[in-house]
Amino acid sequence: MEGPVLVLGATSGIARETALALAEKGASLFLAGRDLDELERVACDIKIRTNVRVETGRFDADDCSTHLAFFQDSSSVMGGFSGVVYAVGALGDQIRSQTDWQEAHAVLHRNYVAAVSVLHVVAAAFEKAESGWIVAISSVAGDRGRMSNYVYGSAKGGLTVFLQGLRARLQKSGVHVLTVKPGPVDTAMTFGMDKLPLLAQPKVIGRAIVRALENGKDVAYLPGPWRAVMFVLRSVPESVFKKTKL
């Protein structure tokens, strides 16, 4: 936990709180994202609170051709990483995605293709070093396709399966992979949405992620009741589920 940690998508609400929780455990950080000014603000806040080393750098999840060079450069700055948090994501517009391929493609790319691209690079480095850990933010939305968000949900479902396979591959090398499945979290992604069930605060989720990592969990539903909720939803027959308004 004390080694340098790379946080991708570090300006998101969940990533900020996870980074702070890691820093409170003594981890130095490299915060990456597209908004350099906001990254600097997050870095300053964490440094003041924890007095750990925090560096920042631009990471463009959408440009997969840059991922290898980005990881090599950021690793060089920090002297290597002991862990990586992938928290890039975009909910997108489901209604627009149904008729606009560009919107659907952007959602699929940001939530699945970009994650696979950069985690391929990370996995190769950690496998060679025979150490390290990866935390990736998936979603309960990936557990079952729903009318209201199936484009986003399909990308998260794909990411969940990718992480499952990656975990099986890397465990032989001593590398741990944690899949995080949050329900709705009170962040910019959910701003303005009404009646979200079990809405959680990012601070709660960030600390729960670090606890799950410390406890060696493979999959963490956050908050915990979502595990039971999704078990029930997955158990509903398709002939019934397709008639719901979920």
Q: How far apart are the first and last CA of the chain?
A: 39
What letter represents residue 211's amino acid?
A: R
What letter represents residue 112's amino acid?
A: Y
**Residue 206 neighbours by CB distance under 10 Å:** 24
Reduced to 3 DSSP states, what percent helix, strand and coil does the chain have, rounded to the nearest 5? 55, 15, 30
Which of 6, 16, 17 lies closest to 55 in space, CA to CA? 6
**Stated length of the chain:** 246
| Residue 152 falls in the annotated catalytic set | yes
Query: 96-103, long-range: CB within 8 Å, 24+ apart, which pairs?
Result: 97/151, 98/151
Give the helix ranges, DSSP H, for 79-149: 94-97, 101-108, 114-129
In the set 86, 112, 152, 221, the catalytic residue is 152
Helices and strands: H and E segment counts in the chain: 10, 7
**Residue 147: CB partners within 8 Å, gap ≥ 6?**
244, 245, 246
Q: Is 32 helix (H, G, I), strand (E, B) or coil?
A: strand
Residues marked active site are found at 152
